[in-house]
Structure formats: C-alpha cells, structure tokens
Amino acid sequence: MQTEKRCASCGATLIVLLAFAVGAKGAAGQSRDEVSSPAIPVVDSSWPVVNLNVAVLDKDGAPHKIDEREFQLFEDGAERPLQFRDSPDSPVSLALIIDSSGSIFKQKSAIISAVTAIIKAMPADSEIMAVLFADQVFLDLPFTPVSKVDFSFLDRLQARGPTALYDAVFLAEDYILAHAKYARRSLVILSDGVDNASHVSRRVVFRRMEQSGAPVVYACLPSRARIMQNELIAGHMNMRFLAKEGGGTDFNLDPDPTSAAAQIAAVVRSQYVLEFTAADPARNGKTHKLKVRLPVKDVQIHALPVYHSPAK
C-alpha cells in the first residue's frame, strides 16, 4: 500500500484507517500536507501490566481528592494489588477531537474558546494532540509540549461538510496508545455527536476505547438550545454513550464555554492512574471486567468498566 504524506485518513477502507491511526506523526507546526508516516510502533509492549485512568468526582461533578491507598480494584471479581502512576497535577497526555463539520457552524466560536482554555490550563510539561474532522479526519496537531502549542491549528476549523465522528475517535485512540508519553491520559471530544459519514461502527469504536492504557473520555456538548431537533437529541445521547464507554463523563458548553473548559481541565488535572498486573497474561483478546471501589460516600468513580487483553 502506498503511504501518502497527507494525513487525510478516512478513506474507503479500514486498512487506510489503521495505517494512519498508528503511523501518522509529524513535527509541531507542520501543515497537513507535510505530515509523514513512519513505521507502525508496538502499542502493547508493557503487557501484562495494565494502566487504568480514573477520575473521582463529588456529587456536583467537581474533582474529589482521594488518598491513593484507599483505592480497590477488582478484575473479573478478584481484587488485584495496585501500584500508582503519575499523581494528580503531574503532566498529562491530552487528546482533543474537534468537530469541524457543518452541523457545528453556530458553535464554532464556543468550541475554539473551550479548546484554547483547556490547553492553557494543562499542567506544565503536558503534551497535547488534536484531531479535526468533518467527513475526513486530520491529525492537525501531533503530540506537542503544551508550552509549544501553536494555536493556528484552530484556523482549520471550517465548520462545513458531513461528520465522521466514529472514524475520528477510532483513529485518535490508536494514535494515543502508540505515541502518548504519559500514563495519565485524557481524550476530550467537542462535537454535537451527529455521525453521518464514518466508515467504522460505534461498536468497533467502543472496543478501541476499551484497551489497557486508554484515556478517560470526556464529551463536550456544544448546544443545549438546539436539543429539540431529533438529530441533535440522538447526537447528544451518542456523546453521552461515548463518554460512558470511555470511562468518563459529559459536559455542556452552554451557556459559558470558558467556565465549562475550566471544569473539564480541573477534572483532567485530578486523574489517577491505577497500575496492576493482569491475572491472565495470555494475548487472546479476551474481555475482562473492572470495578473500582472507594470507602467514600457520595462520589462518582469514572473509569473503564472493561478492558481487552491484546490479541496475538
């Protein structure tokens, strides 16, 4: 298969999607046409060590500080010994998936404001990546130190065309697992949740999100005012499903995108990473149920409910 330099990756086949997801990477400041595609890296080399990103929020959705020793984690019903990685407020690998389709035209300024505020609120030494998508998906900002982010990538948010949301999440998840520097990982989706152009299904995307080392997913709903439209009702439900399956939660950018962004940034900064060794080290693609417990009342625990061991 010929490797193209251009990072418009949602072509007609799954093979093209996979090649972009784990291969596309370029230097900060490069244009879309200049991003190169190096060899595909190994994404599960730490197996059978599993990293689980966890957010703990109070009943109002604000971060709740926890003594790490209070965490209990159960894999397939059996408790596993824990180690702890990258404490809250340490650097984070943050991925932003930004809807650039026609359906968010009236929300473009709110999305740009939110993205800018989230990036500026990240801990020092964090790294940021950004995927912009309409009917095609572009890696517009490869992982870049937060202090060196060039916000001109937001100039490409054109707000036109159909929407390939699932393709964008699919690609971003594999790129994160292949290239993220830190164990603390978050993925923030800014979209109305409508999908009318993807080549991969929601079921396939959910399985992509349920991998060892996957980020917590946070969904940002751009407009509550338009929710009475049937398509947008479905889109908002879709965003909530994506957040739930990704071990996270959803936020609404209405009426104040900057305030919502501050909320999201606070939650991202507060994440914990629970590290454990899988009870079954086999590379068989098997699904394992996860349950995180705390001896604290009135808190919300957000983490992946399952993960899949790597396949052979």
- Domain shared by 77 and 110, yes or no: no
Query: For residue range 266-280, what is the model confidence (pLDDT) as tens digits?
Result: 999 999 999 999 999
Distance CA 219, CA 98 (A): 11
- pLDDT score at 255: 86
Q: What count of Cα atoms within 13 Å lies in the side-chain half-sphere of residue 194?
A: 22
User: SS3 for 112-139, per residue?
Assistant: HHHHHHHHHCCCCCCEEEEEEECCCEEE
- Domain shared by 156 and 289, yes or no: no
- pLDDT score at 304: 97
**N- to C-terminal Cα distance for the chain?**
23
CB 127 within 8 A of CB 151: no
For residue 54, the enclosing domain spans 49-87+271-308
**Residue 288, in any domain of the structure:** yes
- Domain shared by 93 and 77, yes or no: no
Q: What is the CA radius of gyration of the chain?
A: 18
Residue, of 8 and 197, whose pLDDT is higher:
197
- pLDDT score at 41: 41
- Domain shared by 72 and 94, yes or no: no
**Residue 262, in any domain of the structure:** yes
Three-class secondary structure of residue 299 per DSSP = strand
Question: What residues have CB less than 8 Å from 86, skipping those under 6 apart?
Answer: 92, 182, 183, 184, 273
How many CB atoms sit inside 10 A of residue 38's CB? 11
Beta sheet of 306-308, edge-to-edge order: 78-79, 72-75, 287-293, 306-308
Domain count of the fold of the chain: 2
pLDDT at position 88 over 60: yes
Tokens 């926890």 map to which residue? 66
- pLDDT score at 115: 98
Structure-block tokens of residue 161: 């065309």
- Domain shared by 140 and 250, yes or no: yes
- Domain shared by 247 and 162, yes or no: yes
- Domain shared by 249 and 148, yes or no: yes
**Residue 241, in any domain of the structure:** yes
User: What is the CATH number for 172?
Assistant: 3.40.50.410
CB 100 within 8 A of CB 135: no
Of 25-39, 174-188, 227-241, give the range with the top mean pLDDT: 174-188
pLDDT at position 33 over 60: no
pLDDT at position 224 over 80: no
- Domain shared by 110 and 213, yes or no: yes
Query: For residue range 246-297, what is the model confidence (pLDDT) as tens digits?
Result: 999 999 998 899 999 999 999 999 999 999 999 999 999 999 999 999 999 9
Question: In which band, very low, low, confident or very high, does the pLDDT at 222 lie, cut at 50, 70 and 90?
Answer: confident
- pLDDT score at 292: 98
- pLDDT score at 27: 32
DSSP 8-state class, residue 308: E
- pLDDT score at 93: 98
Mean pLDDT of 64-73: 96
- pLDDT score at 233: 83
- Domain shared by 172 and 261, yes or no: yes
- Domain shared by 288 and 141, yes or no: no
Question: In which band, very low, low, confident or very high, does the pLDDT at 5 lie, cut at 50, 70 and 90?
Answer: very low
- Domain shared by 275 and 245, yes or no: no
CA 72 to chain centre: 24
Distance CA 254, CA 234 (A): 18
What is the identity of the amino acid at 274? Answer: L
**Residue 228, in any domain of the structure:** yes
**Residue 9, in any domain of the structure:** no
Distance CA 218, CA 87 (A): 19
- Domain shared by 248 and 278, yes or no: no
**Residue 42, in any domain of the structure:** no
